[in-house]
């Protein structure tokens, strides 16, 4: 049996919809304590009052958007102070299935030197690919649903708050690899996760899935990936020449072909490049 007292959870909110409560309820039943970090500029008093009805909730509100890196770091340090061994991270639009935490923890206990254990991420189009074996070692995974070993978190130094959003998780994984910690995907554990406003389109008879992210996300994606390439490319040349470049290139191509606000997004790509060259990080500031 899983020792629930060893595991805390965190959900990071940003202007959440009312249906986020079902996601909160599902994960709160699987952990001993749930930290809810609200990055909204304005507090939703009705939602907060409902959240606070749950006994194992600690609600944290900054009155501003401090970014995903700081939100996760704050929750992780609270969990460490509260003597937890693990922290599971969730986005507000991820629905954790029953016994998800138990499955992740079971695998984590079987494998030495594990930094992160992750579920398989599914979307409404079921584009995920699942291996038949119980678990697979990965180079990187999506961040929602990750079970973090908090002792490892302390050793590698937590999340980069200067990124604000995008590539916060990837940089953490690179730090894990540098210290020889593993990233494991549990293949019989499926997390329903809706990233962006994903749609389905055809490209040369092949299905493609544009995310339709907010235009400013292209600023963060561009700026932060360039920083990562400069800092880590010589350490992980195959990753940056292969998957990382391929994913970014596809993201931009799908945006140009299928998404709205193309010129705005191109503008943010340029701004991200320029701010990288200037050494400007943190939250995007309108010039």
Dist. CA 187–CA 192, nearest whole Å: 13
Q: Which DSSP string do the residues of 90-135 spell out, in sequence order?
A: EETTEEPPTTHHHHHHHHHHHSSSEEEEEEEEE-TT------SSSE
pLDDT digits (tens, 9 = 90+) for 259-275: 899 999 999 999 999 99
Q: Rounded to the nearest 5°, which phi and psi values hold at 184?
A: -120, 135
Is beta strand 206-208 parallel, antiparallel or unpaired with respect to 182-193?
Answer: unpaired
Dist. CA 146–CA 11, nearest whole Å: 11
State mean pLDDT over 251-257: 91
The dihedral formed by the CA atoms of 95, 98, 104 and 107, expressed in degrees to the nearest 10 = -150
Q: Which DSSP string do the residues of 27-51 spell out, in sequence order?
A: HHTTSSEEEEEE--SS--HHHHHHH
pLDDT digits (tens, 9 = 90+) for 274-283: 999 999 999 9
Q: In the structure encoding, which two tokens stand for residue 226, read together?
A: 């360039």
pLDDT surpasses 60 at 170 = yes
Q: In the structure encoding, which two tokens stand for residue 137, read together?
A: 């070692």
Residues in a beta bridge with 8:
33, 87
| Range from 3-12, 16-25, 192-201, 277-286 that averages highest in pLDDT | 277-286
State mean pLDDT over 209-233: 92
Q: Where are the domains of the chain?
A: 7-193, 201-278
Dist. CA 169–CA 113, nearest whole Å: 18
pLDDT digits (tens, 9 = 90+) for 83-138: 999 999 999 988 898 999 999 999 999 998 999 999 998 865 555 566 667 999 99
Question: Of 210 and 63, which is predicted with more confidence?
Answer: 63
Q: Rounded to the nearest 5°, which phi and psi values hold at 173?
A: -65, -40
Predicted TM-score (pTM) of the model is: 0.92
H or E, element range at 148: strand 146-149
Domain 7-193, CATH homologous superfamily name and number: Spore Coat Polysaccharide Biosynthesis Protein SpsA; Chain A (3.90.550.10)
């Amino acid at each position: 049996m899983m020792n629930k007292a060893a595991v805390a959870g965190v959900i990071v909110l940003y202007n959440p919809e009312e249906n986020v409560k079902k996601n909160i309820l599902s994960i709160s039943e699987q952990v001993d304590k749930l930290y809810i970090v609200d990055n909204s500029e304005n507090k939703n008093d009705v939602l907060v009052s409902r959240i606070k009805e749950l006994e194992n909730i600690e609600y944290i509100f900054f009155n501003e958007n401090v970014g995903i890196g700081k939100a996760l770091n704050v929750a992780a340090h609270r969990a460490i102070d509260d003597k937890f061994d693990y922290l599971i991270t969730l986005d507000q639009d991820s629905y954790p299935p029953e016994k998800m935490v138990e499955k992740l923890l079971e695998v984590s206990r079987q494998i030495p030197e594990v930094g992160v254990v992750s579920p398989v991420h599914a979307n409404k189009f079921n584009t995920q690919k699942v291996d038949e074996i119980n678990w697979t070692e990965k180079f990187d995974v999506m961040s929602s649903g990750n079970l973090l070993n908090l002792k490892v978190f302390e050793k590698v130094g937590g999340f980069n708050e200067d990124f604000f959003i995008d590539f916060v998780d990837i940089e953490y994984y690179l730090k894990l690899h540098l210290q020889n910690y593993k990233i494991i995907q549990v293949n019989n554990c499926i997390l329903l996760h809706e990233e962006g406003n994903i749609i389905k389109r055809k490209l040369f008879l092949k299905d493609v899935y544009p995310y339709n992210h907010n235009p400013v996300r292209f600023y963060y994606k561009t700026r932060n990936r360039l920083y990562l390439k400069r800092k880590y490319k010589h350490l992980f040349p195959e990753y940056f020449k292969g998957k990382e470049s391929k994913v970014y290139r596809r993201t931009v191509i799908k945006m140009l072909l299928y998404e709205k606000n193309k010129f705005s997004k191109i503008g943010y790509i340029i701004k991200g490049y320029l701010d990288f060259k200037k050494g400007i990080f943190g939250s995007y500031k309108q010039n």
